[in-house]
Amino acid sequence: MPSIPEITNALKIKGASNRCSRCNNTSFEVVGEQTVEVITTGSGLLQLSQKQDVHTVLVACSHCGNISIHALGILTKPTTSNWI
């Protein structure tokens, strides 16, 4: 996992600087990391499911504690103009 200063810097570079959606505060703290298991269902006759782990970082509002989740793989990737 990247260090907290690296994560903070990546959030700034990506423009993730909005106010807290719950209390309008402007201060946040990186509080931890989490792996989220994502299940995608295929299409067609068999409809097989695939599991994938997404490594995330949890960022909390320093006033009310509201948590936002950011995918580390995308957060630490160089900025791109189009994904689709």
**pLDDT tens per residue across span 51-79:** 889 999 999 999 999 999 999 999 988 87
Q: What per-residue confidence (pLDDT) applies to 45?
A: 67
Q: How many residues does the chain have?
A: 84
CA atoms within 13 A on the CB side of 77: 9
pTM of the model: 0.78
Res 50: pLDDT: 85
Name the residue type at position 51. Answer: K
Q: Amino acid letter at 24? A: N
